[in-house]
Amino acid sequence: MSNQLVVLDTVSGACCAPLADAALDAGQAETLAPMFKALGDPIRLRLLSMITSAQGGEMCVCDLTPAFDVSGPTISHHLKVLREAGLIEGDRRGTWVWYRPLPEAIRALAAVLK
Amino acid sequence: MSNQLVVLDTVSGACCAPLADAALDAGQAETLAPMFKALGDPIRLRLLSMITSAQGGEMCVCDLTPAFDVSGPTISHHLKVLREAGLIEGDRRGTWVWYRPLPEAIRALAAVLK
DNA sequence: CTCCTATCTAGATGAATTTCGAATCAGCTG
DNA sequence: CAGCTGATTCGAAATTCATCTAGATAGGAG
């Protein structure tokens, strides 16, 4: 049941002390960096903000794609990056795919910064 | 006196509403993404955490470099990325260069995430 | 002034990223 | 089943990135 490599507690969303309190060790940095990296693109940042602020708590790809000047496959790629970073999750419901945020992960990032 | 393109208020550290409150516009995303991108590397994340948690509020490059397995120029490069992202600043004092965090910028990122 | 140390800059290289069009897959509808 | 629409995957091109070595620059010590 226990996981020996828990760095990000998916229940509490906790991971590490705030930056100002203690330096991250290499393992914590390896866990957190890919999450920040996923936010390091303007399209992905807007995608996450649209999904996170959506009323109903989730958003259809069909509503995300037309908000950008890039192709559908490119949006799909960026959503995959956010998904693999553990920041969002999505599921198909019939014709459409809906994405919602994973708030514990986002909270963990916020906690490290402050 | 007023600046028409202020996205990040360097006095208050404010920038944008939390992700959950409103979607970022393209301009805000273009401003914030490079800052998150700078955090998207494990070495840079550790550098920032070491600098930010340093007692005295600043840290010498000579104490940062030996904590990593990469060459001096590589550390110098990563410090430059953090500097250009507006997350840290540094100055030479005699032989050594000292870096300290820019807390308004870090607070702005934290505010967006929560 | 000359040497030594700390840091940064320049240039090169291999790996990763962004993006697209084409092809594929999932599920509806007639 | 055949055809349509939404979304993802695939493969390729252009760009960016992390890292190194070598060399430059800044400042202190003899």
Which pLDDT score is estimated for A7? 59
Which pLDDT score is estimated for B2? 41
Cβ–Cβ gap A45/B36 under 8 Å: yes
Strand C contacted by B73 CB (< 7 A): yes
Cβ–Cβ gap B22/A53 under 8 Å: yes
Whether the CB-CB separation of B34 and A42 falls below 8 Å is answered with no
A61-75, B13-27, B77-91: least confident range: B13-27
8-state DSSP, A59 = E
Of the candidates B109, B19, B28, the residue with the CA atom closest to the CA atom of residue A57:
B19
What residues in B contact A102, CB-CB < 8 Å? none
The tens digit of pLDDT for each residue in A21-75 reads: 999 999 999 999 999 999 999 999 999 999 999 999 999 999 999 999 999 999 9
Cβ–Cβ gap B40/A20 under 8 Å: no
Tally of CB atoms within 10 A around A2: 4
Look up the protein residue whose alpha carbon has the minimum distance to the C1' of C28: A95
B101: tokens are 């965090």
Which pLDDT score is estimated for A11? 64
Which pLDDT score is estimated for B74? 98
Q: Which of A19, A107, A110 sits opposite B52 (nearest CB)?
A: A19
A11: tokens are 């229940």
Domain annotation for chain A: domains and CATH numbers: 41-102 (1.10.10.10)
Cα–chain-centroid distance for residue A66?
Answer: 21
Give the residue-averaged pLDDT of B58-66.
98
Whether the CB-CB separation of A82 and A38 falls below 8 Å is answered with yes
| Rg over CA atoms, chain A | 15
